[in-house]
Amino acid sequence: MKTYFDLTYYKNCKLDIYLPDSFKANKTIVYVHGGGLVEGDKHNEHMERFGKTFTDNGYAFVSVDYNLYPNAKWPSYIEEVAQSIKFLQDNLEKYNLSRDTYISGSSAGSYIIMMLCVDKHYLKEAGADYKMIKGWISDDGQMTDHFNVQEIELKMDPWIQRITKIAPLYYVDKSIDISRLLLLYYDNDLPMRKEQNLLFYETLKHFKPDLDVEIMELHGTHCEGTCRPEKDGSYRFVDIVLGWVK
C-alpha cells in the first residue's frame, strides 16, 4: 500500500490518500469522518485498516478532514469537502486515482456528503464535476436539520426536528437526480435516526420511483459498522461498500 498523508487540498484542510502498490486504482472511495461537527479526525487506526482493505481490493481510499466547531460555521465544512472533491478530480494522474469516484461518510460526515449530493451548487461553486461521482454512501446520517447546527449556531433545542435549508431532506423534490445512493442506519441507534433515513428514502422514491437508491438496516449502535471491527478485524461498512460498488 502506498500512502500520501496530510495533503493540503484547501486553505488549512488536509486529506490522506491510500493507493494500491503497483497499479492504478480501478475506483476511488472518498470517506468523510463523523463526530457531530465538533470532533473526529481523518487519520486513526480505523482509517488505516479501511485503507488497507480497499487497496487490497484494487481501490484508492481517501480520508478527508474539515474544520470543526468552534472554528467552523455552517456551511463552511460542506464547502470544504466540496473543495476536496475538486482537488482529487484535478489530481487524478498525479496520484494515480480513478475517475470513477464514490463519496461516503459517517454521521456528521454523512450529513456533509448528503448535502453535497442533493444540493449541487456546492460542487459547482468549487469547480468540481458532479457527473464524475458514480455513487454516494451514507452511514447513519442526519437527514433533518443537524442537531449541532441548531444548538451551536441557532441556539435551539437540538432535539427539535426541523426540515429547513440546513437539512438534506429540504432539497428532495421532483428535480432530484442522483447516480446511485446507499443509505445505512442501525437498529439500536436513536429511533429518530432510523425514521429520518426511512423518510428520506421514501421521499426520494415518491418523486423518482426508478432512482437507484437502496436502504439497509444494520444491527448495532450509531455508526458501529465503521468504528467497531468484527472479531476477524474486518469492518461491516467496508465490506458493504465493496459489495455495493462492485
CATH number for position 194: 3.40.50.1820
**Burial (Cβ within 10 Å: 0-12, 13-18, ≥19) of residue 75:** middle
Percent of the chain residues topping a pLDDT of 70? 100
Which range (46-55, 181-190, 195-204, 223-232) has the least confidence? Answer: 223-232
Q: What's this model's pTM, rounded to 2 decimal places?
A: 0.97
How much is the pLDDT for 29?
A: 98
How much is the pLDDT for 113?
A: 98
Does the pLDDT of residue 228 top 80, yes or no? Answer: yes
How many domains are contained in the chain?
1
Residue with grid cell 460498488, as numbered in its chain:
245
Written as one string, the DSSP assignment of the chain is -EEEEEEEEETTEEEEEEE-SSS--SEEEEEE--STTTS--S-SHHHHHHHHHHHHTTEEEEEE----TTT--TTHHHHHHHHHHHHHHHTTTTTT--S-EEEEEETHHHHHHHHHHH-THHHHHHT--GGGEEEEEEES---SS-HHIIIIIS---TT----STTSGGGG-STT---S-EEEEEETTS-HHHHHHHHHHHHHHHHH-TT--EEEEEESSSTTHHHHS--TTS--HHHHHHHHHH-
Does the pLDDT of residue 23 top 80, yes or no? Answer: no
Q: Which domain holds residue 71?
A: 2-245
